[in-house]
């Protein structure tokens, strides 16, 4: 939380979030203190409003001031409206920029940055959840209908830096995956540039985001794009024009070679052709249609090979095989979703839609804060999962004493990550403040 304050979290909340009309007079008092309490609880592992009481357990009341009860925080969240969530989204973007400046987050962002966009469906239960509706999700490889809410998220990553959340927006469960994608990408591009992305920016997405609005937003912003396309008649005709000798094998990182023949065991091949997408709209786009094909393993006894085709549209300058490898790395956003689901987004705890939107934004701020703390801890923790950071850095079995009215935190003598914890302490507070005394 000291790192969050060094990045100006309380000041940003105080200047941007203003709840003037409330149902309960005291509910919106001190939004900075209440939102930082929610984020502190999420950092400590809370995934529901009741779990936020963890920040009042043990010796925390003696270590932290201005800690609120979970009932007070729940009352505060229920005062949010759509406008207030937009204010909090602005805080999340500005705080991410400050974290990059103060922690070395996203190394290499000045050379190349990747923006990924995707959505997920979080299940909810009961009849009082606002916005809850049935949407499509994939479970064990099968498409199923499930009642829930659908967050749309954008992430920023680099070749050497783990992804951070650039923005997250809660939607109804039945919302299409691409709804609101263009505006989310515009905000993410602005955030990346404010964070120092002066070089090339590549926006990636699956076929749900291969739309005219999405690609148009990328073209207007002057960034490159790599988005999947739905296989319609025009795409099928373009694929049919690719000759048999144009296909080349793809050597994916970690691919396995046959020890007898020396050939790749994977049968994936790629080729490309010039293609004009969205020709029926007012803004057609001509770019490279890169097609990846793999053998249909369900039909191995056929007279001739049967292939499955996976096309995507890109204006990058990479070679065909490299462009395919880069596009498939879009799956890195799934690691962020796994982190959020294993943490604060395990539940969307309120019955009110706007309160759940604010909860999702606090979860995004928490994810970025943990990622920045890991960057200041060690190179290994810079890429660690949120659960790993909580177990090794946050939930330290320490003992708090007050000799001569000075608060002293006694760390365990044989804590395996004591060196990394001390490095984080020094990087946050500076060499003028000594670390806690080891017991």
Question: Which pLDDT value is given to residue 330?
Answer: 96
Residue 401 binned pLDDT confidence (cut-offs 50, 70, 90): confident
The domain of 73 spans: 1-103+349-396
Place of tokens 């009961």: 126
**Which one, of 103, 123, 81, lies nearest residue 355 by Cα?**
81
Alpha-carbon distance of 278 to 92, in angstroms, equals 34
Residue 212 lies in a domain: no
The mean per-residue pLDDT over the stretch 194-207 comes to 95
Residue 32 lies in a domain: yes
Question: Which pLDDT value is given to residue 126?
Answer: 84
Residues composing the chain? 439
φ, ψ of residue 71 to 5 degrees: the values are: -65, -35
Percentage of residues of the chain with pLDDT beyond 70: 93
Question: Which pLDDT value is given to residue 297?
Answer: 67
Percentage of residues of the chain with pLDDT beyond 90: 74
List own/partner pairs for 25-32 with CB under 8 A and 24 or more apart.
27/75, 27/76, 27/78, 27/79, 28/76, 28/79, 30/66, 31/76
List, for residues 232-279, the tens digit of each pLDDT value: 999 999 999 999 899 998 888 766 666 666 656 667 899 999 999 999
Place of tokens 């916005």: 131
Domains: count for the chain? 1
Residue 118 lies in a domain: no
Question: Which pLDDT value is given to residue 435?
Answer: 47
Check whether 370 has a pLDDT greater than 50.
Answer: yes
Residue 434 binned pLDDT confidence (cut-offs 50, 70, 90): very low
The mean per-residue pLDDT over the stretch 33-60 comes to 92
**Residue 310 token pair:** 């996976």
Query: What pTM was computed for the model?
Result: 0.92
Residue 420 binned pLDDT confidence (cut-offs 50, 70, 90): very high
List, for residues 317-343, the tens digit of each pLDDT value: 999 999 999 999 999 999 999 999 999
Residue 226 lies in a domain: no
Strand partners, 139: 142
Residue 229 lies in a domain: no
Alpha-carbon distance of 79 to 352, in angstroms, equals 9
- If one counts every other C-beta atom within 10 angstroms of the C-beta of residue 243, the result is 8
Residue 5 lies in a domain: yes
Q: CA separation (Å) from 85 to 29, 94, 107, 221, 243?
A: 16, 14, 29, 25, 52
Question: Which pLDDT value is given to residue 31?
Answer: 93
């Amino acid at each position: 939380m000291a790192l969050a304050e060094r990045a100006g979290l309380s000041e940003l909340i105080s200047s941007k979030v203003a709840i003037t009309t409330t149902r309960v007079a005291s509910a919106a008092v001190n939004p900075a203190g209440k939102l930082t309490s929610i984020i502190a609880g999420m950092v400590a592992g809370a995934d529901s409003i009741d779990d936020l009481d963890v920040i009042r357990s043990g010796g925390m009341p003696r270590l932290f001031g201005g800690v609120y009860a979970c009932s007070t925080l729940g009352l505060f969240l229920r005062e949010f409206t759509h406008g207030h969530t937009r204010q909090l989204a602005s805080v999340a973007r500005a705080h991410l920029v400050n974290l990059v400046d103060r922690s070395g987050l996203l190394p290499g962002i000045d050379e190349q940055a990747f923006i990924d966009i995707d959505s997920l469906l979080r299940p909810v239960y009961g009849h009082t959840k606002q916005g809850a509706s049935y949407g499509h999700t994939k479970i064990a490889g099968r498409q199923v209908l499930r009642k829930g809410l659908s967050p749309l998220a954008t992430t920023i990553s680099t070749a050497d830096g783990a992804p951070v959340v650039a923005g997250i927006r809660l939607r109804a469960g039945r919302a299409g995956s691409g709804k609101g994608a263009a505006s989310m990408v515009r905000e993410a591009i602005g955030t990346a540039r404010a964070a120092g992305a002066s070089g090339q920016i590549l926006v990636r997405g699956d076929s749900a985001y291969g739309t005219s609005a999405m690609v148009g937003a990328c073209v207007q912003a002057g960034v490159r794009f790599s988005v999947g396309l739905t296989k319609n008649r025009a795409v099928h005709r373009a694929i049919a024009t690719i000759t048999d000798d144009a296909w080349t094998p793809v050597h994916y990182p970690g691919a396995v070679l046959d020890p007898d023949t020396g050939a790749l065991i994977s049968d994936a091949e790629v080729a490309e052709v010039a293609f004009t997408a969205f020709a029926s709209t007012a803004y057609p786009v001509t770019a490279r249609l890169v097609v990846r094909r793999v053998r249909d393993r369900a039909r191995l006894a056929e007279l001739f090979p049967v292939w499955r085709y996976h096309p995507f549209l890109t204006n990058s300058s990479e070679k065909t095989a490299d462009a395919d490898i880069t596009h498939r790395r879009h799956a890195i956003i799934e690691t962020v979703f796994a982190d959020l689901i294993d943490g604060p987004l395990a539940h969307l705890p309120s019955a009110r839609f706007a309160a759940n939107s604010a909860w999702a934004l606090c979860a995004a701020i928490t994810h970025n804060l943990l990622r920045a703390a890991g960057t200041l801890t060690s190179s290994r923790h810079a890429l660690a999962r949120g659960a790993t950071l909580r177990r090794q850095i946050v939930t330290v079995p320490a003992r708090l004493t007050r000799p001569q009215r000075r608060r002293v935190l006694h760390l365990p003598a044989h804590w395996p990550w004591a060196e990394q914890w001390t490095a984080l302490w020094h990087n946050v507070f500076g060499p003028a403040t000594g670390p806690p005394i080891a017991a």
